[in-house]
Structure 1
Amino acid sequence: MPLHKSAEKRLRQSERRNARNRSRKKELKVLVKTMQKLIDTSAEKAVVEVAYRSAVQKLDRLGVKNYIHANKASRKKSQLTRLMNSYVKAD
């Protein structure tokens, strides 16, 4: 328990920020898993492309705003692109 008023405020701020970070990372995880699930179920190319674009867009945004490291965002985008390209070639 914080003893000072400023420490209490920092604790409140920290809890809010942690919740915000968790929700943004969870959104990203859901987008990536949705795309992979669509590929596994052999969905239409257009649907998979929309999921791919939204996942890449979210990765870019989170990388720029430092919610995840820029290199991690780049690595994930590369993995998704390879997955997408292999799916398109398979059809």
Structure 2
Amino acid sequence: MANHKSALKRIRSNEAKRLRNRYQHKTTRNAIKKLRDTEDKKEAETLYPSVVSMIDKLAKKNIIHTNKASNLKSKLAKHVAAL
């Protein structure tokens, strides 16, 4: 168990950040699935910018790697264009 006040605070803040990161990552994954399942081009085109924004935010906060974000955006763009 931690003995210092700062260590206890670090434990609390790490847990809060972990939960926030998990929530944002899961929400983004669900949005990606929804976009991939979409068959309507109009709906996909309106959904695409918000999903890309979510992916960029995850990459900026180092929740996912920058290259993974680029790959996801590229695949989604190809999917939307193919509809």
Partner of 1:52: 48
Task: Report the CA distance between 1:67 and its aligned residue.
Answer: 2.4
Unaligned runs of 5+ in 1: none
Larger CA Rg, structure 1 vs 2: 1
**TM-score, with length taken from structure 2:** 0.86
Poorly superposed stretches of 4+, deviation over 6 Å: none
Query: Does the aligned pair in 1 maintain the 2:41–2:80 contact within 8 Å?
Result: no
CA deviation profile, 1:19-76 (whole Å, cap 9, x unmatched): 11111101110110111121xxx3x321111122211121122222322211111011
The alignment partner of 1:24 has SS state of helix
Which structure is higher in RCO with an 8 Å CA cutoff and minimum separation 6?
Answer: 2
1:1-91 → structure 2 map (5 Å cutoff): 1-38=1-38, 42=39, 44-87=40-83
Paired amino acid for 1:52: Y
Aligned pair count reads: 83
Q: Give the Cα separation in 2 of the matches to 1:12 and 1:64.
A: 23
Residue 4 (structure 1) shift:
2.5
Cα distance in 1, alignment partners of residues 71 and 42 from structure 2: 24
Identity of aligned residues (%): 39
